[in-house]
Chain A
Amino acid sequence: MSVPTATVTTAVRTSASSSRRHSPGRVLQRTAPLIPAVVLLGMFLLGPILYSLYGSLTDRAMSGYKAAAPQFVGLDNYVALLSDPAFLKSILLTAVFVFASAIVGQNVLGMALAVLMRHCARPLASLVGGIVVVAWALPEIVAAFACYAFFASEGTLNSMLAFIGLTGPKWLLTFPMLSVILANVWRGTAFSMMQYNAALAQVPPEVKESAAIDGASAAQSFFRITLPIIRRSIATNLMLTTLQTLGVFTLIWVMTGGGPGTSSSTLPVLAYQEAFKFSQVGYGTAIATVTLLVGAVFSVVYMKLLKPEVD
């Protein structure tokens, strides 16, 4: 546990030196209350990240000689990744999964639900909201089993189709990505819906009223007034749902196991398989590190695009 200890001393030293540069004491006095949080973040967030970065530079395995004495292999794992068709396919699948289920599915559907709920009768809104929130309230593993039971070859969906005389395909085999995307939309929409519901409530009605007086249609008023006002909520929500979706593992693992073959192996599933099934812990860690970078890139893009900090 040498890494966290080092972080503690560095944190203290940094704050001490910066206080000398600015007016003495003042900066320290302001930063001091942050130190526990910084230390904890360093220990439980930065520490593991650095350790995973280091792990990805080794050939560590679960068993065998490479488990007893992993070698430092530099960037070999990353070089191997770039020539691994399974990895390149996985990047693509991850992009599809995030785009379809988080950016389009959860956000658009969540926004649509939130807007519709503000315009319909109250009991109906509560009822719909309640049903949607159930998916969110379920523990992930339970939701995953529910989706598995729904999409399985002899599951709920195909039973319902059979009831009206249709023979459904084997969803999890024929359309594995579609199945997990729908499942993730089902599970995550409630979060966006609640976010947007709260955001829409903040839009001052008088702005929309004056727009209506000036002859703006409902669509114009939504796209040109409401959306810009709640821009920050959209940015935050996009970021949260994207990062959450990027890390989805249980849902996919339970429903398809990343298969058939590798046709639904997103980055977290691939990382798990490489590390814990095929024993290549170093290689799996490299995939996890790439996932982390992808998340960071998404975050930066959202921050730049939507400028949440400027009003």
Chain B
Amino acid sequence: MPHSPAPLTRPVPSRRSFLIGASLASAAAALAACSGSSSERSSNTLKVAYQKTSAFTQLEDLLTKAKGEFEAANSEVTIELVPIEAEQDQYFTKLALMNGSDSTAPDVIYEDSFQVRSDAAAGYLMPIDEYVEAWEDWDQFVDSAKEAGLGDDGKLYGVSMGTDTRGIYFNKQIFAQAGLPEDWQPTTWDEILDAARTIKNKVPDVIPLNIFVAKAGGEMTSMQGFEMLLSGTDSELLYNADTQKWVTGSQGFVDSLAFMDTVYAEELGPGLDVALDATIGNRVSTELLPEGKLAIAIDGSWMPGGWISGDNPWPEWEETMGLAMMPTQNGQGEGFTSMSGGWTLAVGSKCANPDAAFQFISIALNYENTLKYDTENAQVAVRTDVAESEEYLSYNPSFEFFSGLVQYTHFRPTTPDYSQISGNIQIACESVVTGDATPEQAAATYDSGLIAIVGEDGTEAAS
């Protein structure tokens, strides 16, 4: 309004200062609102963050039981259970965002062993060495379980709840229809593909084989999918622990992707609409296998836990499902392979009452509760007293099989970068099965992504 008349009144100082004052006051109020909630953390409430899905409620049962026992012993501290209802991949994201702020950071965290190093390096976790030293049960844990909780700095950050192995599940009824043996045990990758091809021909209305390939599947794709293959090749490794360098240009990497390519190119796997969906993991265990729509699944040892005691029990699984070891590519090496991970309970670094937090963990993972969790969630026990107990051994007939895989098992690289690099593996897998890239191209993209993350110095060419 350039031509409007000049105001008749002179500026009134009080009004001006009022307006400035008002705006400053409103800004101050807004600032206070932003920062107010993070001022202090209560030492009388422990927030326990954990994952929960429709197929995974055993952990909630365990923590609820432990909450009752803890609160009965400590009248002044209450446990607040904070379930994060998300698939595994989104669980990590939500957890990292919670850890990012003082006001939301949990006190006790259900933490995947492969995230321990990364989250410890990020300053999200608190070392608990002094607490386990004073904990009489600590001697019961096997060494590999103690190492699973170590950070890059050699301090302990998590107490292992159990471990797992991976193998092949197959539906014996579908195998019978296809004329395949009930005691099937492939010794090379080709034998897996051959069985899948036979099923495709003889029993055309079922999905012959599932191996996880999607970005949306997250760590499931890296571990149950890709690394189960890679660990059975001559290259075997993503990371050379001796030289502390990541491996580029590996033939095994290309071969593993080529296996996935074959499965999806020959339509031996589920349709991509199913395979690329974030719910694929859940669907395999609660729908595709129990409903007899899937013949072969490369998956984790915990699956029978959901069939025995989950929301959708499937008591017939024992008669229906056969178990086979995952062979190496051409039967080389020891002939079979497996991957192991496992989860821990950790104390958040912002915790105001670590004594109580560790006490809660020690209750949640005492003999009785570990036994409950390891049986119901089909974990490979890492407490020797649990692993040797009659009650554990007789609970689930698959325990013996999956415990037997420990001798063939591999672990993921234990570096803080792994979780980020794992994302690049998932990109490679998905790009191959969708036809965006050949296995060679996808492996080259992975290599350049790897160098971007760890730097040229952090890599070495495969021998």
List residues of chain A with CB under 8 Å of any chain B CB. Answer: 1, 4-5, 8, 12, 23-26, 28-29, 32-33, 35-36, 39-40, 43, 61-68, 80, 152-153, 170, 172-173, 257, 259-263, 273, 276-280
- Whether A62 pairs with B27 at a CB distance below 8 angstroms is no
Q: Is B96 an interface residue (CB 8 A)?
A: yes
Q: Is the CB of A28 within 8 A of B11?
A: yes
Whether A39 and B27, one on each chain, are in contact in the complex, defined by CB atoms closer than 8 angstroms, is: yes
Q: Which residues of A contact B24 (CB under 8 A)?
A: 8, 12
Instruction: Answer whether A1 and B93 are a contact pair too, CB < 8 Å, given A39-B26, A153-B271, A277-B423.
Output: no
Question: Which of B121, B273, B278, B430 contacts A68 (CB under 8 A)?
Answer: B121
* A-facing residues in B191-241 (Cβ within 8 Å): 214-216, 218
Chain A residues with CB under 8 A of B214 = 259
Binds A, one of B62-70, B395-403, B412-420: B412-420
- The reply to whether B420 and A173 contact each other, CB–CB distance below 8 Å, is no
Minimum CB–CB distance for A268 against chain B, Å:
16
- Distance in angstroms between the alpha carbons of A247 and B153 in the assembled complex: 42
In the A-B complex, the 7 residue pairs with the closest CB atoms: A25-B11, A67-B122, A278-B423, A64-B416, A63-B118, A62-B96, A261-B436
- Does the CB pair B96–A63 fall under 8 Å? yes
Give the interface centre of A68, A173, A262, A277 by most chain B CB atoms within 10 Å. A277
Decide if B34 is an interface residue (CB 8 Å cutoff): yes
A65/B416 in contact, CB under 8 A: yes
Cβ of B463 under 8 Å from chain A: no
Report the interface size for chain B: residues with CB under 8 A from the other chain.
Answer: 50
B420 pairs with A261, CB closer than 8 A: no
Additional pairs, 20, CB under 8 Å, beyond known A40-B26, A261-B436, A277-B423: A12-B24, A25-B11, A26-B6, A28-B16, A29-B16, A36-B23, A43-B27, A62-B93, A63-B92, A63-B115, A63-B119, A173-B271, A173-B272, A257-B278, A259-B214, A259-B276, A260-B430, A273-B215, A277-B93, A279-B423
**Interface residue B3 (Cβ < 8 Å from any Cβ of A):** no
Q: Are B11 and A277 in contact (CB under 8 A)?
A: no
B89 to A: closest C-beta gap in Å? 7
Residue on A nearest B4 in the bound complex, by CB = A30
- B35 near A: Cβ within 8 Å? yes
B438 at the interface (CB under 8 A from A): no
Within 8 A of A (CB), among B104-132: 115, 117-119, 121-124
Given the complex of chains A and B, what is the CA–CA distance between A213 and B118 in angstroms? 77
Q: Which of A80, A276, A280 is within 8 Å of B420, CB to CB?
A: A280
Knowing A64-B419, A261-B430 touch, does A172 contact B278 (C-beta < 8 A)? no
Contacts of A32 in B (CB 8 A): 15-16, 19-20
A81 to chain B, nearest CB (A): 12
Contacting A260 at CB < 8 Å: which of B20, B92, B272, B278? Answer: B272
